[in-house]
Chain A
Amino acid sequence: MELSGSEILVQFLKDEGVEVIFGYPGGAVLHIYDAIHRQDDVKHILVRHEQGATHAADGYARSTGKPGVALVTSGPGATNAITGIATAFMDSIPMVVISGQVPSGMIGSDAFQEVDAIGCTRPCVKHNFLVKDINKLAETLKKAFYVATTGRPGPVLIDIPKDITAPQIKIAYEYPESVKMRSYNPNVKGHPRQVKKAVELLLSAKRPMIYSGGGVVLGNASDELREVTQKLGFPITETLMGLGAYPGTDKQNLGMLGMHGTYEANMAMHECDVLFAVGARFDDRITGDTNKFCPRAKIIHIDIDPASISKTINVDIPIVGEVKTVLTEMSRILDETDIKSDQAALDSWWDKVNSWKQQNCLAYDKTSKHIKPQAAVEALYEVTGGDAYVASDVGQHQMFAAQFYKFDEPRRWINSGGLGTMGFGLPAAMGVKIAHPEAEVACVTGEGSIQMCIQELSTCLQYDLPVKIICLNNRYLGMVRQWQEFFYEKRYSHSYMDALPDFVKLVESYGHIGIRVEDPADLESAMKEAFSHKDRLVFLDVITDQTENVYPMIQAGAGHNDMEISPEHKKNLGSINPRGELA
């Protein structure tokens, strides 16, 4: 089969099983767009900004586990895509971004819409390729998908000069079934002796804690994590990236840990004697001050990336390997071993953990005449039966969603954890909805974040993507305001969102439905109404309390046992002594 470079690209995507790509045309990719026009196998979604293309591909990838694909033109197309590429890189999301480039002969001449896309993206991709020879195009595409999806996943960019895709030059094409790279060997199994040592340490623990991260979701190891956690009977906490890997409603789950983690999760981290880290990378939002992190614990760490091990926190038993295979092996050893865990110690540990839990650290004022953002997330949880895909933007609303929406399944919680990209939520929700047209897809956002990619409302209309946007509108950049309240003596420098649009009218002008709710009494019915419009995008503008803060909060330099807690939490402390035990 003789094909042009453009046709090879499109045929390859089809052969690779890519169903949908997100993109935006421009000069350097016109040949490719012409090839896309001449086929129906690979669906193209026209976004309104290249950042939206990469976030949508990212949302698609996070919710399916399949690589997301974006197509952008040279120059500004590539630079606009970078925020989305960096977002995927920080959260290890498999993504392939194809960027057009000026013709080979013009590279380096400061040509129109020329940018060194390889150089610009190098620090935020797993790898990137410049295609210099049409004969290498198919092989390079295969390498890109292979690198993006194996090992610790990540985004890969392929920069294709315009002459490579020209219709005049045709070569023989055959789909490369496999690819070998001498410098890249991602398949690693945990070392058997380390795995055995880890199980022995776990069974000897008196105050154990499981700390599970995004690697469990990425590695499709949720079932294995549940099995091992239940066999051990230990408390478990999840990172922001790991929510849903273990059921959020299960009694062993203490909720999220870290800067805005629950009181019980953070206290248990501080007090534990054995910490079992699974697919988590000891991010600074998790550890707080590393010198005060888990001061009494021996640490076991499973990670597929050797560079994640002992990067910020020294670990005692490192296991480099796929989380799924290591947990499967652990589960087998647990079945076969004669070693018994210290049940009496575990019982008294659970008593302590439960006493922390009873303080109800997420309590908030339910008598307020303003809608509390927490109540809005709880209403969303109720109305969707806890079964929706929830994409979020970045800020207070993200933390409230993470704390109050109890995810029972992995890949339901779609958020920019590492990079913290405002503007991520709506395009990511689009990607999720395209992957799961029958599922409820919500985007929890704020009036600040939503305006960073609001143009995608137009894409949602064009492709009939009825996501539900829950905008927690407090007329402040809430997390910035919170920090200014705590650390800058309430000098609210540029955190007030003045001159906001009328979001109801705005979304109506985009052809969608807008609903505004201000009275707590109307919240539930408004949420129900939003979800009653099955086939329409609804923007629910929830006017929330301007002064609400996210609690608990570990401040910079503090340990896990040193949290700012909410006023309502403090009220619950009446019968609890300062060590967190019931008096």
Chain B
Amino acid sequence: MRHIISLLVENESGALSRIAGLFSARGYNIESLTVATTEDPTLSRMTIVTIGSDRIIEQITKQLNKLIDVVKLQDMTEGNYIEREMMFVKIRAEGESKRSEIQRLSGIFRARIIDVTDLTFCVELTGSGDKLDAYIKTLHDGDVIEIVRSGSMGITRGVKALTL
């Protein structure tokens, strides 16, 4: 099953490689990994999307918890949570009909056009991974010039929080 694991880790050089190294050394999957400093500059927050059986996920969380740099860990998938991913798409947009089609589609997906040239649009879209995939599917293959995806972030619903 797909799990979203959020971590608070010491904001130190080497912490990221310890975590990435754990996944490669033990043969675990990483679908995406995002990391940034938190409001507390000594901590980074990391979101890892991984896939595995219950036994593998249990081992992943235990092995991550064992790393000295990992301060706190939460498997979002164990409760209610919100997941979002952000995407930029650079699209070939020549001719009036194509330009208006992209604008129409972007409206349906609540995507924003954030850069325009005579030849291209750049679109920004936030949502679940599925929504991002669905938007890409609406575009003609030949029209997509470049896609950048951030990887997923997650946060729990309600009062429960991943803080120190």
Contact = CB atoms under 8 A, between A and B. Distances in A.
Given A118-B14, A130-B14, A182 B63 contact: no
A123 to B, nearest CB: 5
B66 A307 contact: yes
B70 A183 contact: yes
Contact of B63 (A184, A307, A310): A307
B55 A310 contact: yes
Contacts of A307: 59, 62-63, 65-66
A562 interface: no
Interface stretch (B17-25, B106-114, B133-141): B17-25
A130 B13 CA distance: 9
A127 interface: yes
Nearest 10 CB-CB pairs, A to B?
A: A307-B62, A183-B71, A127-B68, A123-B25, A306-B62, A184-B68, A307-B63, A307-B66, A122-B21, A182-B71
A183 B59 contact: no
Nearest to B55: A310
9 contacts: A118-B14, A119-B17, A122-B14, A123-B25, A126-B68, A130-B13, A306-B66, A307-B65, A310-B55
A311 interface: yes
Interface in A103-149: 118-119, 122-123, 126-127, 130, 147
Contacts, number: 36
A182 B43 CA distance: 11
B66 A305 contact: yes
B134 to A, nearest CB: 38
Contacts of B70: 183
B69 interface: yes
Interface of A: 118-119, 122-123, 126-127, 130, 147, 181-184, 305-307, 310-311
Contacts of A184: 68
B10 interface: yes
Given A122-B17, A305-B66, A306-B65, A183 B55 contact: no
Nearest to A127: B68
Interface centre among A122, A127, A307 (most CB of B within 10 A): A307
Contacts of B14: 118, 122, 130
A123 B9 CA distance: 18
Interface in B1-37: 9-10, 13-14, 17-18, 21, 25
B108 to A, nearest CB: 45
B143 interface: no
Contacts of B68: 126-127, 147, 181, 183-184
A162 to B, nearest CB: 19
Nearest to A314: B55
Nearest to A307: B62
Given A307-B62, A307-B66, A310-B55, 17 more contacts: A119-B17, A122-B17, A122-B21, A123-B25, A130-B14, A181-B68, A182-B71, A182-B164, A183-B10, A183-B69, A184-B68, A306-B62, A306-B65, A307-B59, A307-B65, A310-B58, A311-B59
Contacts of A183: 9-10, 68-72
Nearest to A124: B25
Nearest to A119: B17
Nearest to B24: A123
B75 to A, nearest CB: 14
Interface in B61-101: 62-63, 65-66, 68-72
